[in-house]
Amino acid sequence: MQPRSVMDALRLPPMRFITSWWPWRSLLYLTTGGAVGLAAGAVLLGLLLAGAALSLLVIGLAGFLAAALSGIVVARVERRRLRMVDDIRLTDPHRRPDRPGLRRWVATRLAEPATWRELGYTMLMVTALCWLDGMVVALWFWIVTALVGGPLYIHDDTPLSLTLAGAVFGVILGIVLLYPLSAWAAARAAITQAVLGPRMETSAELTEVARSRARLVDAFEVERRRIERDLHDGAQQRLLALSMQLGLARLELPPGAPGAEPVARAHELAKEALTELRELIRGVHPKILSDRGLHAALLEVADRAPLPVDVEVALPERLPGAVEACAYFVVVEALANVAKHSAATRARVVASVSGGRLTVQVRDDGRGGADPARGSGLSGLADRVAAGEGTVALASPVGGPTVVHVELPCGS
């Protein structure tokens, strides 16, 4: 597989790397980088000096304005230069003005974060990066020419064999030094991609991302409900019928019959499988949540909990399905953590709606010290809430109590 960047080429075997074009493309990239940086610095300094000299006149503002917009030109050149060491093509992050005209173009560019990011990159390039590029290239040229060209300028009593050996060593060292030179070129390309790469900066893009995530969450919840219905109306009913048939067969067989024990064992296995399937259905999407809402579902969770759980729910009406499902599974996960890790004797669940937001709080009287970094399930809980554009707050001092506070938007 052919490398697509100098970073990929550095992983090649030495002979393949040295005989490829990537080291020389890196050398050209750094050489032009130093030249572009020096040219940009000279132009930028000239614009600032012109603006300062003519600051008393209106025309002086044009110099400062041109300096502020100079990063656009430098960034365009840098995106093209990047192709020397990477096949990636960075797209232009600037949007087209909604109306034609120079004034509108300038106003649009000044309002874009990309313009100021490009100006910052230009300043970084002028003050540091171009000098580093030049130093790396100059050092490489100096070492190679000083050793390889030794026989041309050494005229003292130094043996010719020694100068020739130095020239051969210079060639070998120059080839070896192509590795750090190419590594710096890869680092420069990574800086350029990080700063000048495309980003989602416009409110329209961010709004579309938020809407897309909401659609994904809704689609996921619909799919969970479909799976729950299929399991409840299909597999569970067949397994229930099988359990009943085995129970009838068990009653028909007289005690001590040859098939009595296998049928009894099969009956017990069928009942165990039915119990496990019911738990699985409840984990996918509990039917009580769809039929009777969050309040009834939380009461059922409290009844199944291995410790006493007080439930206080104040909901004026049914909430959106995705919100109810998220809140339900948050409480299930929080109570599971309480039972496994907190050594608590009692827990409390409070849910209410205020200002278009559902607030759910789970509190226990355990030993505290809960830490999401230790993999207690709290990180997964936070991910679930984040998918619903909600927030999670955890308070768990050593000695307790532990409080998980969740807020979810529940507007239409």
Asked if 157 and 221 sit in the same domain, the reply is no
SS (H, E, C) 343-403: CCCCEEEEEEEECCEEEEEEEECCCCCCCHHHCCCHHHHHHHHHHCCCEEEEECCCCCCEE
Average pLDDT over residues 189-215: 66
Instruction: Note the pTM of the prediction, 2 decimals.
Output: 0.50
* Average pLDDT taken over every residue of the chain: 79
Measured distance CA(267)–CA(249) in Å, rounded: 9
> Does the residue 33 lie in any domain?
yes
Measured distance CA(351)–CA(310) in Å, rounded: 11
> Does the residue 1 lie in any domain?
no
Q: What is the pLDDT of residues 114-149, one digit of tens each?
A: 889 999 999 999 999 989 999 999 998 888 887 777
Residue 327 has pLDDT above 70, yes or no: yes
Asked if 85 and 167 sit in the same domain, the reply is yes
Residue 313 has pLDDT above 70, yes or no: yes
Residue 207 has pLDDT above 70, yes or no: no
Range of the domain at 231: 204-284
What is the pLDDT at residue 227?
64
Q: What is the pLDDT of residues 56-95, one digit of tens each?
A: 665 667 778 888 888 889 989 998 898 888 887 777 888 8
Asked if 214 and 272 sit in the same domain, the reply is yes
Q: What is the pLDDT of residues 266-289, one digit of tens each?
A: 777 777 777 776 666 555 557 777
Burial class (CB in 10 A: 0-12, 13-18, 19+), 388: buried
State which amino acid sits at residue 37.
G
Average pLDDT over residues 298-308: 85
Q: Which structure tokens are listed for 362?
A: 């789970």
Q: What is the pLDDT of residues 12-62, one digit of tens each?
A: 888 888 888 899 999 999 999 989 888 988 888 888 887 777 766 656 677
Residue 321 has pLDDT above 60, yes or no: yes
Our count of domains for the chain comes to: 3
Measured distance CA(78)–CA(276) in Å, rounded: 61
